[in-house]
Structure 1
Amino acid sequence: MPLYFFRISHGRYSGVSDHPSEFADRDAAWTEMKSVCANLLGGIARTLKQDAHWHMELLDETRKPVFRIRLMGETLD
């Protein structure tokens, strides 16, 4: 089964995970990424500053990004 690594851009959990996660396929990896992101999103949204962004990526075994979920706080004038 393929190995994947989570990478988070900002906050308490920022950086690349030290331990890979194993998923049956890309669909399973995407489903798990959405679940992990959903669990973190409430805390991230509460502390997100104006004109800031946060993102989570799922990297493959070579540490190349496969999926990305972004949250942006934009000021519109």
Structure 2
Amino acid sequence: LPARREERSPYATMLDTLGVGSLSSREREILQWVRRGKTNVEIGMILGISGFTVKNHLKSIFQKINVSNRAQA
């Protein structure tokens, strides 16, 4: 018998296609704030981390979802 494949929701498949499925929970959280128009410093204040840490997370996020800047994210 063939191995049973796990059913995946269309949403999960879309996230994987966009690369978002590979983001950590912290990266997804930061991306949500970026999409709401927050600056690195504002995101850092909300999350209790430095703006530089946010910037480092964004570098990783941009690589994973294959974009060059926050406007494309």
TM-score tier by shorter-chain length is: 0.3 to 0.5
Query: Which of 1 and 2 has greater Rg?
Result: 2
**Higher percent of residues as strand:** 1
Whose RCO is larger (CA < 8 A, sep 6+)? 1
> TM-score, normalization: structure 1?
0.31
Structure with the larger helix share: 2
